[in-house]
Amino acid sequence: MMKQQPVSSYAAGGYDWLATWRRMYDEERNQAEQATPPDFNVSADYWAGQAGRFAAAASQAPQPDGFMQFLLPQLRPTDRLLDIGAGTGRYEPTLAHAVAEVLALEPSPSMRERLEQRIAEERLDQVRVIAEGWPAADVPPCDVVIAAHVLYGVREAGPFLRRMDAVARRACFLLLGYRHPASFISAFWERLHGAPRLPLPGAIECFNALYQLGIPAQLALVPIARRFSYASEEAALADIRWRLRLPPEPRRDDAIRDAIRDLMDRDAEGQLLPRDLPDQTAVIWWAHSSAGTT
């Protein structure tokens, strides 16, 4: 067994990555708010209109994907695992068969409804749903803590990451892209709003922020098993309109359809695929400071 060095011995070269994270988050949010017309319906549950699409994608995604193939060898049958932002339960069936208990943390009511439905359908008795947000959620210590594609939408990354480290008895794992998984929307945003979509922070910013916090993390690339796609033009229209923060309007919908035809390709099965999507994403992980690594 090889012990980690004390976390206090690490630093980030004096650069404030947490401030960079907040700046990128604020600039992206401000751009969205400025582009949002008054008649766009903003639900208190941000994911209310997307839970169905996410649930369908989760059920169709082949498992174990690149992230699960990386994570599963690190798990033990006796583990309690915390999944922060479990969404509609993409990973819960796989995790439930690998550990003793899964705590699936999901604050969105619409996402949580789909998550609970999947747990019931697949009889995942090892999974317990927690209807709270992070980092405020009251959870017991867990052997392993994961968060997959969650951190982009968090302004204060520091408390989020520190609490992960505090709750984990053995290790933490983050799945993050160098770019947001829906970064392809920038070209559509420029078409409809006149400027490229500003980026949210991702894997590089997170990796460096962890070192700034004194948490010596590691990073590896894993393959993306299933590319982001749409089953039909109407499905693409609905999702892209929502991401552009635009209400339905016939002339504008025609402009979005034109952009879909210009900016997407169809595969052999007829699925619409955004162009220039990455084929890898990043796993960032670290052992708890009191835990050993082999």
pLDDT digits (tens, 9 = 90+) for 133-145: 999 999 999 999 9
pLDDT at 6: 45
Give the residue ranges of the chain where pLDDT is below 70. Answer: 1-13, 43-60, 289-294
pLDDT at 62: 77
DSSP 116-180: HHHHHHTT-TTEEEE---TTT-----EEEEEEES-GGG-S-HHHHHHHHHHHEEEEEEEEE-SS-
| Residue 158 near residue 16 (C-beta atoms within 8 A) | no
In angstroms, the Cα distances linking 241 to 36, 203, 262 are 11, 27, 16
CATH of domain 15-288: 3.40.50.150
| Residue 260 near residue 248 (C-beta atoms within 8 A) | no
Annotated domain spans of the chain: 15-288
* Helix or strand holding residue 282 (H, E): strand 280-287
pLDDT at 15: 87
pLDDT at 77: 98
pLDDT at 46: 60
* pLDDT tens track for 170-206: 999 999 999 888 899 999 999 999 999 999 999 999 9
